[in-house]
Structure 1
Amino acid sequence: MNDEDKKVKFKSLKEQISKGTYSAIKGMGFKYMTDIQSEVLPRALDGADIVATAKTGSGKTLAFLIPAVEVVVKSMENQQYPGTLCIIISPTRELATQSYSVLQDLISYHEGMTSTLIIGGESRQRQSAELSKGMHIVVATPGRLFDHMRTKEFDYKSVLCLVLDEADKIFQYGFEEDVKQIVNRLPKNRQTMLFSATQSERTDALVKSAMKDNIQSINTDEDDLRATVEGLKQGYNSKKKKAVVYCCKSFILEQYNNLFRQYVICETQFRLWWLDKLLKKTKNQKVMVFFSSCKSVEFHYEFFSKYCGASVLCIHGKMNQAERTSVITNFYNAEKVALFCTDLAARGLDIPAVDWIAQFDPPADTNEYIHRVGRTARGFGTTGNAVLLLRPEEKEFVSYLQEAKIYLDKYEMWDKLSNLQPKLDKALEDPDFQKLAIEAFEGYIRALEVRKLKHVFNILTMDMDALAKSFGLKEKPEVDIRVGFSKKHRPRKRMAAMLEAQNETKHRKM
């Protein structure tokens, strides 16, 4: 029996879904269900409350959109549709936009079914006007949705279905209180579906408060031995100059994927030079490079685009919505380009044919690692490459990943790196660029400060001069790294300052 024979066809749902929805699924080119879809859809279509845990790229968007559409279909057939009937909440504008785009394809065969996208960065007045018409399905980010719920124009008293997508990320982005308020305002007699890549105490608390007692819990990862593609141990053969799969076993993520995961240790001051080499090696490919702060994204984008002539784009949370949408569209359509980004781009976005994921700044934890590398190897039979850059002091992060059953092989460091200092010196003649370099330096430290793995990401033992050089700076700038932190972090900052002062005193005496 081949693998396709084991997969469940969408055709098996014909008795549970409307003709319009089934026609739309066929029109979208889907024949077989993914694991999460085959587990969720039969139960969700029966009206059950669902809590589903699945890896990124598992196909969960259709797993919640199809039941949501069918809720509206049934209400329209019974002529019971005053106001909005279904709300889908996503943590980011990009993810909400993507879900909304898929929704448009799914409802294309349903005459009279309406939907709207409610996100920040767009006209509140226009959104309010659309909501006042009683749009059947609302796809939204939490903050903007709650804003509209406090107005008279938005009638949500008839909501029959609530979907919380990437629930763990909703909390991480600080929308916990908004979501609580939204849930409390909605009708109690509704279907609720919660999708998350990970479970935590906060998601468990939300489940208890937002859902019925009879919950259908689904975890398509529970039998996996590894957190990303099963049965793959990857490495890089420096002599043959190609990736080698040492052990391979079929696994369905969304389709069959081959993901080559590696790490490289690089001295702090040469990190920028290493990235320059990577961009040259992958200039004919599609690459995503992850950074830990918005300022770091801006600094590296400015330097490589303006002073190195590299083909790069950038996206981060401080850009307005029009800019972010434009960048994602350009990256989506490009065949070869590098996208510099924060973790804003780590979740949900389904970008075709991404060849490389470079984690220039390491992720905060295993969950972020999984979501970052999940941006590549997303198609049938496709391959992807993921490389994690670490400073020598951070090499224990590899062991931390291994404890979570994420196995990486060491990527051979290149023998020769181009000296970028002349270009950096020229760039730093511009006062605005020099200011940006200092802000990026500061942003890097602040991002490390809030990491939980203090034994791996330790700013107390960090060589600040070497770090400054990695941003092109000749010496460590005078930056008060305590600024911008909550009080609970300041004692550690004061200790760092004291240790630094003691070290400087020692050097002067010597």
Structure 2
Amino acid sequence: MPFTSLGLLPELASATSALGFTQPTPIQSQAIPPALGGADLLATAQTGSGKTVAFALPLLQHLQKAGATSPRRVRALVLVPTRELAAQVGEVLRSLGEHLQPRPKTVVVFGGVSINPQMMALRGAADIVVATPGRLLDLVDQNALRLSGVEQLVLDEADRLLDLGFAEELNRVLALLPARRQNLFFSATFPPGVQTLAQGLLREPVRIDVPAEPETAPAVTQRVIQVDEPRRTQLLRHLIKEHAGERVLVFVGSQYTAEHLANKLHKDGLFATAFHGGLSQGARKQVLDEFKDSRWDVLITTDLAARGLHIDQLPVVVNYDLARSPVDHVHRIGRTGRAGQSGLAISFVSASTEAHFSLIEKRQGLSLPREQVPGFEPKEAAEALAPTKLVAPDNGGIKGKRPSKKDKLRAAAQQKPSS
């Protein structure tokens, strides 16, 4: 099915060809026609399935058909949770709209950088604004833009935008928008609580759910390697050398760990660097561009890079620290195996994190085999799985593999010599 069959204007269909898109992905073929018809959407699809193009084309076609307005006003608003995703969405919109006449003006705004250049970019207003909620509200407070003329609202990665961290800001933004508008909600996951919130904002939405099927889903192979926590760095170094010549994205749990691990690997002669929210926006962009250009072999990152980050042909993702939630795990491993490419996701599991990873497996409906790499066999895991022998009173103690604090105290008391 070509893009021309979706009801797109010829110039937009040509723009997809110019960008190398030969045919629409499932989310694009299902979402674009109803979006062009003005319907509200609640759409879910696997990470890397082409959601950005699925909402970018309807936005641009709506602007093109309606024609230029005088004076220019913000007519389409795209809200995203991170700076990186904002920049990526803006790049797609500009690329697809490059040959339209008149060319729509797209402005991308986000926090963490000076507000002045963004205020300058908004002089004369814009047709499309891509924004993180906090910076958007800052600009509204500065009278740099108005949202009363918005005709289309897109929430990209809507599950993250509707969580507790963004709920208050999102509600403030929604209060500034006109009641009559088209709403397009896109995300890789919609937990039940988020679905309830989203449905309260949509009017008779078209629900689109593209499952991760073998013929359309990223071909990501998951490996689970058991290793003691103190030996994870040595194992990571070993695996990186095994995948020499391939870029590796490594997820950790904190900015400190990202810097510390990157420094350790770099001292060992590996081209590794850190990427996290503590870096300035300029530094983050530079690091990301260099990694995309293969100037770094290893990028150590926090969950900042779990969503919205697109790196072509990224072969390997490693969970050095496990994701905090099953949803974040899905987004992490979705950084590889994109655009039909195969990918490998490796998770390190220790005795203390086995239960957490089992929960991640359960939520994904998977049961993955545990591996052990020769030379890195875990000792802690073996001890944790072995039955614990305790001397305990007949009426006390907890049966099982892991003794409680009371069990340990009872056992110690039994072993003391009598006076």
Equivalent residues in 2 for 1:478-497, closer than 5 Å: none
- Give the Å deviation of 1:114: 0.7
Q: How many residues align?
A: 384
Equivalent residues in 2 for 1:169-180, closer than 5 Å: 169-172=160-163, 174-180=165-171
Corresponding position: 1:9 with 2:20: no
Moved more, 167-176 or 119-128: 167-176
Equivalent residues in 2 for 1:137-152, closer than 5 Å: 137-152=128-143
What is the distance in 1 between the residues matched to 2:167 and 2:153?
Answer: 16
Equivalent residues in 2 for 1:20-419, closer than 5 Å: 20-76=11-67, 79=69, 82-111=72-101, 112-172=103-163, 174-212=165-203, 214-221=204-211, 230=213, 250-253=214-217, 257-305=218-266, 307-334=267-294, 337-380=297-340, 382-403=341-362, 404-415=364-375
Partner amino acid for 1:252?
T
1:340-369 deviation per Cα after TM superposition (whole angstroms, max 9, x unaligned): 001111112110121111100011222111
1:130 to 1:336, Cα distance in 2 relative to 1, 3 A: closer
Moved more, 331-340 or 109-118: 331-340
What is the distance in 1 between the residues matched to 2:197 and 2:355?
Answer: 34
1:109-144 deviation per Cα after TM superposition (whole angstroms, max 9, x unaligned): 113321111011333122122223111011111110
What is the distance in 2 between the residues matched to 1:195 and 1:358?
Answer: 26
Equivalent residues in 2 for 1:451-466, closer than 5 Å: none
Partner amino acid for 1:251?
E
Does structure 1 conserve the Cα–Cα contact (< 8 Å) formed by 2:225 and 2:371? yes
What is the distance in 2 between the residues matched to 1:280 and 1:272?
Answer: 12
1:49-101 deviation per Cα after TM superposition (whole angstroms, max 9, x unaligned): 11111111111010111111112112216x46631111111110001111111
- Give the Å deviation of 1:301: 1.2
Partner amino acid for 1:165?
D
What is the distance in 2 between the residues matched to 1:27 and 1:327?
Answer: 28
Partner amino acid for 1:108?
E
Q: Which runs of 5+ in 1 are unaligned?
A: 1-7, 225-229, 231-249, 418-460, 462-498
Partner amino acid for 2:149?
S
Give SS of 2:165's match.
coil
What is the distance in 2 between the residues matched to 1:170 and 1:217?
Answer: 19
Does structure 1 conserve the Cα–Cα contact (< 8 Å) formed by 2:72 and 2:126? no
TM-score by length of 2: 0.85
- Give the Å deviation of 1:332: 1.0
Give SS of 1:375's match.
coil
Partner amino acid for 1:318?
G
1:308 to 1:134, Cα distance in 2 relative to 1, 3 A: same
Partner amino acid for 1:389?
F
- Give the Å deviation of 1:202: 4.6
Does structure 2 conserve the Cα–Cα contact (< 8 Å) formed by 1:332 and 1:352? yes
- Give the Å deviation of 1:43: 0.1
1:291 to 1:371, Cα distance in 2 relative to 1, 3 A: same
What is the distance in 1 between the residues matched to 2:81 and 2:376?
Answer: 42
What is the distance in 1 between the residues matched to 2:156 and 2:374?
Answer: 41
